[in-house]
Amino acid sequence: PKKKQQGKNKKKTRHYSAVFHLKSQKAVQLSNEKVSDLALNTNRSQSVLGYSNQAHLEKIMYGGFFADYYSININTGEQTPIIKNSPFTPSLAPNGRYAAYFAQSQVQLKDLKTNKVTALSKAINATFADDKHDYPSPQPGYGFAGWLNNSSQVLVYSKYDIWAFDVNTQRAERLTNGKPSNTQYRVIKLDKNHAGFAQNDTLLVSAINLKSKQREVAKLDLASQTVTNVLSGKKRIDVVKKAKHADKYLFTEQTYHQFPDYYQSDFSFTAPKKVTHLNPQMADFAWGEKPELISYKGFDGEDLQGVLIKPAGYKKGDKVPVVVYFYRYMSQRMYDFPKMELNHRPNFPMFTSNGYAIFLPDIRFEIGHPGKSSTQTMINATQKLIDLGIADPDKIGLQGHSWAGYQSAFMITQTDMFKAVVSGAPVSNMTSAYSGIRLKSGLARQFQYETGQSRIGKNLFEAPELYIENSPVFFADKVNTPILIMFGDKDDAVPWHEGVQYYLALRRAGKDATFLQYEGEPHHLKKFPNQVDFSVRMMQYFDHYLKGKPAAKWMTEGEPFVEE
């Protein structure tokens, strides 16, 4: 009885959505207990997308995120099922009759009137399933650009291109031709309330070269199916805003040495005008050399890239200390301006203006063996810098946070290549972290290991040996690399005692380990004094182990614990 009463009270506080039609003065309820959530919009669509995960709450704890999706008619409130138990969000046509979604590694079209489902992409010679997906979960698609206003065509992304599929004939038309030049085209969406495209629209699209990493801007004429570049260069260019009632656009251009100032233009983009000059003080600093792409092989022989930024004043032939910063894919940052902020990661110009090279490598993983596969990939990437005569092999440091904090903590159990490691918020023991709680979301952490980022692919009872194999705490006695572990004791993503476990194991094994505990801080440091403090200590740590500078007092004597 008590449980029933609690549920009743919860329902009393739940709010559902409705639409009020001004012309007919009629209100229509759109969501309810069955379909509790809506992807609301303010356009003229006849239907909205509704969804509910209520039937999958238990599964979400260990299997990832799933929901049941519906098309909801805004005039009647009728709920028409699209797909159930789906990890991917469908795209609903403006008229509510058709929905496109990704399933069984194909783009599917469903006629909601007849319930007929057609695999649109099955006979198309293009990659519609994300080929970078290395998780123990269903392969996602590249997504949808949207629909024509009359719902006659859905625009779908492949790896490189934008395709138009006719809902009546199921025929496909490729609107761009990016594959030959390794260019990925995507529609730039500046209006959140945009309902659909007209058949004669000219769309702004981003054109990203997946090899060189240049991010340019082009126009796609839907009527003639022609693509015209309008903003180009060896840089990253982003259109960020359109004036609501005028033919005015704002865009930014950036490189590692060019701050992303704002430029204004009309839709022709023929005579853009620079309207800001926000970072003139850059001229006073030795910012570093021009970034370059380094190629190497992943653990399985895959071609990968990393961004190398040599220190300011670098002379050919110099072997310099290197700090490697990583997570998963990093080479796409080739033309990114480094944000001038202090947080949980190295501030790149702080290092490149003080004699260090910064290296940002791509990392790949093998399901079931994320630790060993990422380690081998990292060894291959770093060895390339040594082979090129750039990295001093006795002066290479490693820094990562969260998932990369775990990787760096694991890597030093397998290799002595790195002479110092700074590991932020790492999981060190997958057997204990598996049944922990993500305090911010309230989710059990099990889904991360079975289907998510940690990539084990099995539960703890099926494969305890994999959880042990990938846990650095069990191999603390193999570590020969000094490590600095950083955690906030209010971490809402990773249980902070994961850091305590590794620190105490390393100390028991007689290893060089230091633990920084920031009181009251969550997964990423939020308080500016702590951000400054960590940035200073990180630099001092690398200066000592990679440059031979005297150790700071806190490194040799620690800081006294103060009783509250």
| Averaged pLDDT, 80-96 | 96
d(CA 377, CA 363): 6
**Percent of the chain with pLDDT strictly greater than 90:** 92
The answer to whether residues 344 and 320 touch, using CB atoms and an 8 Å cutoff, is no
pLDDT the model gives residue 366: 98
Distance of CA 237 to the CA centre of its chain: 19
Q: Which residue has the higher pLDDT, 559 or 182?
A: 182
Model confidence at 165: pLDDT above 60: yes
Return left, alpha or beta for 77; rule: phi > 0 is left, psi -120 to 50 is alpha, else beta. left
Nearest to 370, CA basis, from 472, 475, 232, 507: 472
Residue 240 has pLDDT above 60, yes or no: yes
pLDDT band at residue 368, thresholds of 50, 70 and 90?
very high
Q: Mind listing the pLDDT tens digit for each residue in 249-289?
A: 999 999 999 999 999 999 999 999 999 999 999 989 999 99
pTM tops 0.85: yes
Confidence of residue 307 (pLDDT cuts 50, 70, 90): very high
User: Which pLDDT value is given to residue 119?
Assistant: 97
Q: Which amino acid is at 244?
A: K
3-class SS of residue 83: strand
pLDDT at 490: 97
Residue 118: the pLDDT is 97
Contact predicate 125/118, CB 8 Å: no
pLDDT, tens only, 446-475: 999 999 999 999 999 999 999 999 999 999
With a CB cutoff of 8 Å and minimum separation 6, the contacts of 119 are 104, 106, 107, 108
Local confidence band at 7 (pLDDT 50, 70, 90 cut-offs): very low
Q: In the structure, what pLDDT confidence band is assigned to residue 82 with cuts at 50, 70 and 90? A: very high
Candidates 253, 249, 203; CA nearest to 228 is 203
Residues 6+ apart with CB under 8 A from 502: 409, 426, 428, 429, 472, 473, 476, 485, 513
3-state SS string over 482-527? CEEEEEECCCCCCCCHHHHHHHHHHHHCCCCEEEEEECCCCCCCCC
pLDDT at 12: 60
Mean pLDDT of 469-496: 97
- The number of C-alpha atoms within 13 Å of 517 and in the hemisphere containing its C-beta is 16
**Whole-angstrom distance, CA of residue 232 vs CA of residue 290:** 18
414 confidence band (pLDDT: 50, 70, 90)? very high
pLDDT tier for residue 340 given thresholds of 50, 70 and 90: confident
Does residue 4 carry a pLDDT above 60?
Answer: no
Residue 5 has pLDDT above 90, yes or no: no
| Amino acid (1-letter code) at residue 386 | I
Q: What pLDDT score was predicted for residue 563?
A: 64
Nearest to 403 by CA among 385, 384, 379, 430: 430
pLDDT tens for each residue of 95-146: 999 999 999 999 999 999 999 999 999 999 999 999 999 999 999 999 999 9
Q: What are the tens digits of pLDDT across the range 509-556?
A: 999 999 999 999 999 999 999 999 999 999 999 999 999 999 999 999
Per-residue pLDDT tens over the stretch 180-225: 999 999 999 998 877 799 999 999 999 999 999 999 999 999 999 9
The pLDDT of residue 11 = 56
Per-residue pLDDT at 195? 78
Mean pLDDT of the chain: 94
CB of 261 within 8 A of CB of 276? yes
Distance CA 74, CA 78 (A): 8
In this prediction, residue 1 carries a pLDDT of 43
pLDDT score at 252: 98
**Residue 25 structure tokens:** 């003065």
- Is the pLDDT reported for residue 42 higher than 70? no
